[in-house]
Amino acid sequence: MVGHKITIEGPDGGFAAYLAAPPAGRGAGIVVIQEIFGINAPMRAAADELAASGFVALVPDLFWRLEPGVELTDQSDADWSRAFDLMRRFDVELGVKDIQTAISHLRTLGSGKVGAVGYCLGGFLAYLTAARTDSDATVGYYGVNIQTRLGEAARIKNPLMLHIAGKDEYVPPPAQEDIVSTMATYPLVTIHRYAQMNHAFARAGGKHYDEANAGLANSRTATFFRQHLR
């Protein structure tokens, strides 16, 4: 599947997004929440794969207030430096607001149920999406800083799945244990742990990519969305 660029009109202005639709043209929707690299090739590929599975996938440009159209890779020090700078300046509260706008946009396209999936920064935002938006089902991959917002778990009203990398360099073991122990009290939250994996193990072509564990996580995500969005 090959998607295309669109503009979403939100309460604070218009921002770009990448939209990929299935052959049927319609289906349940999924907002793909970017990493710190913007709407780059891996994010577009994730949307295309979801579209090939029958979903309408939308990747909103969450950095639009800072710098519209960011597209970085994880292959150079310069891109990493720029990505970390964007993350430091990124307003999480406004980001979640934009995700809700993207969810609402998918509903206007005819998607009945709409979910979300995020990676890295997007994994953290996926957790907040589950707590603050009307996403019907949400998945977060190796979210960073979830342990700083554990109080928000009480607001989760729809299913959430979290994939945690056991050797995540950005989420130390004590933080992981805090997340797991807290979420154990919330039946809507499912956690899968990948003990030997590092951060971004599901980013194809990345330094820590692991085909077997990425495949396992992605299959769990696919089953989760089939159960809750169709």
Active site (catalytic) residues: 168, 199
- Phi, psi angle pair for 123, to nearest 5°: -70, -40
In whole angstroms, give the CA distance from residue 103 to residue 12: 16
Residue 63, helix vs strand vs coil: coil
8 Å CB contact between 225 and 30: yes
Tokens of 75: 């292959």
Distance of CA 87 to the CA centre of its chain: 15
111 Cβ neighbours under 8 A, 6+ residues apart: 26, 27, 28, 29, 56
In whole angstroms, give the CA distance from residue 217 to residue 127: 17
Query: Residue 97 half-sphere exposure, CB side, CA atoms within 13 Å?
Result: 14
94 by Cβ neighbours in 10 Å (0-12 / 13-18 / 19+) ranks as middle
Distance of CA 116 to the CA centre of its chain: 6
Question: What letter represents residue 133's amino acid?
Answer: T
- Tally Cβ neighbours within 10 Å of residue 211: 10
